[in-house]
Chain A
Amino acid sequence: MFSIKNLQYRYPNNEEDTIKGIDFEIKTGEIFGLLGPSGVGKSTTQKILTRQLDNFRGEIRYQDKSITEYDKNFYQDIGVGFEMPVHFSKLTAEENLDFFKKLYSSRADTDQMLKRLGLYSDKDKKVGEFSKGMKVRLNFIRALLNNPRMLFLDEPTNGLDPKNARIIKNMIAEFKAEGGTVLLTTHLMNDVEELCDQVAFMADGKIVEINTPKNLKLEYGSRQLKVEYSDNAEVKEANFKLDDLGENQKFLQVIKNNRILTMHSQEMTLDNIFIKITGGS
């Protein structure tokens, strides 16, 4: 759906490129996570892809056509979810959604989304009276109100309670299941692990790693099993290599003769991979 080749970008008045030649591809129907610490170029990349920034170098193709060849109707196809509030505070939630909806040719059932996200009873309330979490949920509806094919989401669950975060994650997964494509920017590695098919880590304007979350965990983790067991009322811990686990006599004895407390394979968490890959930047 999106193909990015040797993308470079320098802000006016800057001496150095913010984006220093990145390549990646977002396939139709996948959720692509763009990760990295603040200031490495994630938002800039997203702004270039959503055509908020131009004068980039390199090539960006959307649906096999350069994004520079699209007119304003490019925005009929995409939805952008912002982290910060983006609504008229003195208008009600419904007035806001109605205004934005009329700008598009395809219009989603926003009442149904308001109901699902627990905002329907507050739809006649001014957005200025909304809590932070309510504004985040309204932002998410704003991104979906034109039935987009491609969704750009920036920290969609940030500031939400677990219940509403779950609803949003379910809605993202459903959007994908219906053929939608997502570029997700977040610091919440649980969301990444749960939702993303592919993730790219950015550091200093470059992509330093692209892979599936599962492969990354295997690549950066150690192939070991950590076992915690009780031995004569004493808690003990042992590590065993996964490769010859079935023939490892010590392991077999431990599980046969002791009460097992915990048992964990030692693949690395995405949080640790994040720190390891981007930590030096």
Chain B
Amino acid sequence: MTVFLTLFLGELQRMKKYHILTASILVSFFWIGMLHLIEVPDITAFFMILVFFDIVSMAIVMIGVTIFFEKQEGVLKSLFVAPINRLEFISSKTIANLISNLITIAIVYLYALIVQDININVVGLLLAIILIGTFHSFVGFLIVYRSKGFTEMLIGMMKYFIVFMIPVALEEFGLITGDLFSNILFLLPTKASSTLITATTGGPITGEVILATVYLLIGTLVLAYFVNKGFRKFVIRESGV
């Protein structure tokens, strides 16, 4: 078994043992509850908003929580003196995180499919989840790198949600309108994420969708560079300096 596979399967095992997967599934039931309570003729748009909320927030929170557990239990020290390189460490966590994202959304999607025959490009949605989830997992890594404790990490996450998620959500709910506001929102990765998710409900591939995809692809590469670069400093700090 390769080191990557050991790390990846270890992540999944711990997600189960630490009830992270359970929490993730509970979140999906919460989303289902919301879908059930909303009284609109077509739940597709609302489903897309939930998907957006889930991927963006859970990808960041899950990375933060798993690394925090490992840090709290001293396991990071033990991992950092094992034959693991940074790529294996980062990628195993990111991919395990994506699996968790996919499970949550699959549950909500199945419910939506049962209640209403919603029309979604499933392959497109899968690719969007992978891209958005990877981008935001890397955001999670960077927040963890910059946080000295759990509270600081939560504050970092809250800052991201307030600055990047809420404006996009306000626009999605139609609470704030206007071209200027919409155009400014295109600076945010969360707007690109929302655009990409919405595009999976059908319709032509517009310039906006291409722009959002390119934005997230380049953004993911840029974040990957910083996640990789900051890893060593993080290791030194977590080794007890």
Q: What residues make up the interface of A, taking CB atoms closer than 8 Å to B?
A: 11-12, 43, 47, 50, 52-54, 71-76, 78, 80, 82, 84-91, 95, 99-100, 102-104, 142
List chain B residues, Cβ under 8 A from A71: 85
Q: Pick from A52, A90, A103: contact of B239, CB below 8 A.
A: A52
- Chain A residue, CB-CB nearest to B237: A12
A72 near B81 (CB under 8 angstroms)?
no
- B14 interfacial contact with A, CB 8 Å: yes
Q: Pick from A43, A76, A88: contact of B240, CB below 8 A.
A: A43
In the A-B complex, the 6 residue pairs with the closest CB atoms: A86-B78, A75-B83, A102-B6, A52-B239, A80-B81, A86-B74
Binary A-proximity of B72-111 (CB < 8 A = 1, otherwise 0): 0111011011111100000000000000000000000000
Known contacts A88-B75, A91-B17, A103-B6; is-contact A52 B83 (Cβ 8 Å)? no
B residues contacting the other copy or chain, number (CB 8 A): 28
Binary A-proximity of B6-33 (CB < 8 A = 1, otherwise 0): 1100100110011000000000000000
Known contacts A47-B239, A85-B73; is-contact A75 B18 (Cβ 8 Å)? no
A104 near B235 (CB under 8 angstroms)?
no
Q: Pick from B78, B80, B236, B239: contact of A100, CB below 8 A.
A: B78
- Chain B residue, CB-CB nearest to A139: B78
Known contacts A43-B240, A103-B84, A104-B83; is-contact A142 B78 (Cβ 8 Å)? yes
B57 to chain A, nearest CB (A): 24
A52 near B236 (CB under 8 angstroms)?
yes
List chain B residues, Cβ under 8 A from A72: 83-85
A38 to chain B, nearest CB (A): 13
- B229 interfacial contact with A, CB 8 Å: no
Known contacts A90-B17, A103-B6; is-contact A82 B78 (Cβ 8 Å)? yes
B83 near A82 (CB under 8 angstroms)?
no
Bound: A100/B6 CA distance, A: 9
For chain A, what secondary structure do more than half of its interface residues adopt (helix, strand, loop), or is it mixed? loop
List chain B residues, Cβ under 8 A from A43: 240
Q: Pick from A87, A102, A142: contact of B1, CB below 8 A.
A: A102
A99 near B81 (CB under 8 angstroms)?
no
B40 to chain A, nearest CB (A): 41
- Chain B residue, CB-CB nearest to A18: B241
Known contacts A52-B235, A52-B239, A54-B232; is-contact A86 B83 (Cβ 8 Å)? no
B82 near A88 (CB under 8 angstroms)?
no
- B3 interfacial contact with A, CB 8 Å: yes
Per the 8 Å Cβ criterion, residues 190-241 of B in contact with A are 232-233, 235-236, 239-241
List chain B residues, Cβ under 8 A from A75: 81-84
List chain B residues, Cβ under 8 A from A99: 6, 10, 13
A167 to chain B, nearest CB (A): 22
List chain B residues, Cβ under 8 A from A74: 83
Q: Pick from B14, B77, B85, B241: contact of A91, CB below 8 A.
A: B14
18 of the cross-chain contacts (CB-CB < 8 Å) are: A43-B240, A71-B85, A72-B84, A75-B82, A78-B81, A80-B81, A82-B77, A84-B77, A85-B74, A86-B74, A87-B74, A87-B75, A89-B73, A99-B6, A99-B10, A103-B3, A103-B6, A104-B82
Known contacts A52-B81, A75-B82, A90-B18; is-contact A82 B74 (Cβ 8 Å)? yes
- Chain B residue, CB-CB nearest to A11: B241
A86 near B14 (CB under 8 angstroms)?
no
**Interface-central residue, B17, B78, B80, B236, by most chain A CB under 10 Å:** B78
List chain A residues, Cβ under 8 A from B7: 103
Bound: A84/B232 CA distance, A: 22
Bound: A82/B78 CA distance, A: 8
**Interface-central residue, B17, B81, B84, B233, by most chain A CB under 10 Å:** B81
Bound: A83/B10 CA distance, A: 24
A98 to chain B, nearest CB (A): 9
A52 to chain B, nearest CB (A): 4
